[in-house]
Chains A and B, each alone.
Chain A
Amino acid sequence: NAGVTQTPKFRVLKTGQSMTLLCAQDMNHEYMYWYRQDPGMGLRLIHYSVGEGTTAKGEVPDGYNVSRLKKQNFLLGLESAAPSQTSVYFCASSSNLAKNIQYFGAGTRLSVL
């Protein structure tokens, strides 16, 4: 059972570089989310999507863009990476029928030098 898959698992960027994190879920979930986790803190919501073609801002959206062109995929983009974006990024998804349960991917550790 794949569930929620995030790629890549690790990445090192230089300041100013761009990259895209991919999240894929095979559970036919309508809702998808991107969180970041900084040391000593819980997860904070960056952006989320309530369905294909829709996106919305979360708690900490600045410096990130997202797209949901296909229901199963949710992309997180960093156009010009900054050291403050060094973090662990988690993707999650949930069903329209059980919105309160979110299933998480294994995370992507990103370092921006």
Chain B
Amino acid sequence: AQTVTQSQPEMSVQEAETVTLSCTYDTSESDYYLFWYKQPPSRQMILVIRQEAYKQQNATENRFSVNFQKAAKSFSLKISDSQLGDAAMYFCAYLKGAQKLVFGQGTRLTINP
């Protein structure tokens, strides 16, 4: 069974600085998708960024980028120029096919002004 592990329960960063959230996963598949979701206090799950496993190029969305290391089964999220609105729980997730997302335990990110 696929598993997703986020080893950092909490992280904090100064406003305008850069922070990296870690995620590792376990799978025997070669074709899959990886995601980072953000969950602010409102509880809404917001898609931050996604990566297709067959693409070697790391995904980027504005201030958010990933470091995808397929052989190491590692998928970290880098947030540049951190803003107060980035404060939230961040979940790493794995998906194979259309059936289910497997989520990590989450990392709570605090932004210090």
Contacts from A to B (Cβ < 8 Å): 31, 33, 35, 40-45, 48, 50, 56, 58-59, 88, 90, 92, 94, 96, 99-104, 106-107, 109
Give the CA-CA distance A93 to B99 in the complex, in Å: 11
Residue of A nearest to B108 (CB): A40
Residue of B nearest to A108 (CB): B43
Measured between beta carbons, the chain A residues less than 8 angstroms from B50 are 100-101
Measured between beta carbons, the chain A residues less than 8 angstroms from B104 are 42
Give the CA-CA distance A22 to B69 in the complex, in Å: 39
Interface code B47-68, partner A: CB below 8 Å = 1, 0 otherwise? Answer: 1001010000000000000000
Q: Which of B47, B52, B101, B105 contacts A40 (CB 8 A)?
A: B105
Whether B98 pairs with A43 at a CB distance below 8 angstroms is no
Contacts from B to A (Cβ < 8 Å): 4, 33, 42-45, 47, 50, 52, 91, 93, 95, 97-101, 103-106
Measured between beta carbons, the chain B residues less than 8 angstroms from A35 are 101
Q: Which of B43, B47, B97, B103 contacts A42 (CB 8 A)?
A: B103
Q: Which of B42, B45, B95, B103 contacts A44 (CB 8 A)?
A: B103
Whether A104 pairs with B99 at a CB distance below 8 angstroms is no
Measured between beta carbons, the chain A residues less than 8 angstroms from B91 are 42-43
Measured between beta carbons, the chain B residues less than 8 angstroms from A102 are 101
Measured between beta carbons, the chain A residues less than 8 angstroms from B105 are 40-42
Measured between beta carbons, the chain B residues less than 8 angstroms from A44 are 103
Residue of A nearest to B47 (CB): A101
